[in-house]
Amino acid sequence: MANLRNLNTSSLKRRFAGITIFGILFIIRGVGSLGQYEVNFLLAFLGAISIIIGIGLLRLMNVARVSAILLILFLLLWDIYLTYIGVYVLGDPYLISPTLFWNLIIFVIVFYYFTRPKVIEQFKEKFVEEKKSEEI
């Protein structure tokens, strides 16, 4: 009974709802992309990476937080590249990537959310708790 009184309440913290939502959205996006294996191997590979990131976000792994930002940044840079190819190389001003605007919005949202101090703190608390449990 004495151990229950000394229970560390920080280990009982729940993850933020936004982290759960982003984790589930990354998993859903990944599952949707895996079905595209016959069409595009890169899309299926990014889908698998997205599932791994989603699971990592649900487990509050800091590497998943950073990977989520980097994956969305990669998708944004890919759309910028496709727009460059369409407009400047092929010379057609109507070949602007249709997802460029939406990937920009998604990147801003993901970057803003995952770089907030309280979100970073929650991921680091999970890391510190794991280190403490390894030492014991």
Note the pLDDT of residue 59: 93
Query: Could you give the residue ranges of the DSSP H alpha helices within the chain?
Result: 2-5, 17-34, 41-58, 62-84, 100-114, 117-135
What is the spatial distance between Cα 119 and Cα 113, in angstroms, rounded to a whole number?
7
CA 113 vs CA 89, 108, 123: distances in Å: 35, 8, 13
Assess contact for 97 and 86: CB atoms under 8 A. yes
Q: Tokens for 83?
A: 């727009």
Question: What is the band of 2 on the pLDDT scale with cuts at 50, 70, 90?
Answer: very low
Determine the average pLDDT of the residues in 17-44. Answer: 86
| Local structure of residue 12 (DSSP, 8 states) | G
Q: Tokens for 122?
A: 């929650």
Helix axes 100-114, 62-84, angle to 10 degrees: 160
Each residue of 65-79: pLDDT tens digit? 999 999 999 989 988
| Model confidence at 11: pLDDT above 50 | no
- Average pLDDT of the chain, as a whole number: 82
Amino acid at 63: V
| Alpha-carbon radius of gyration of the chain | 19
Please tell me the pTM assigned to this model.
0.77
Determine the average pLDDT of the residues in 27-45. Answer: 81
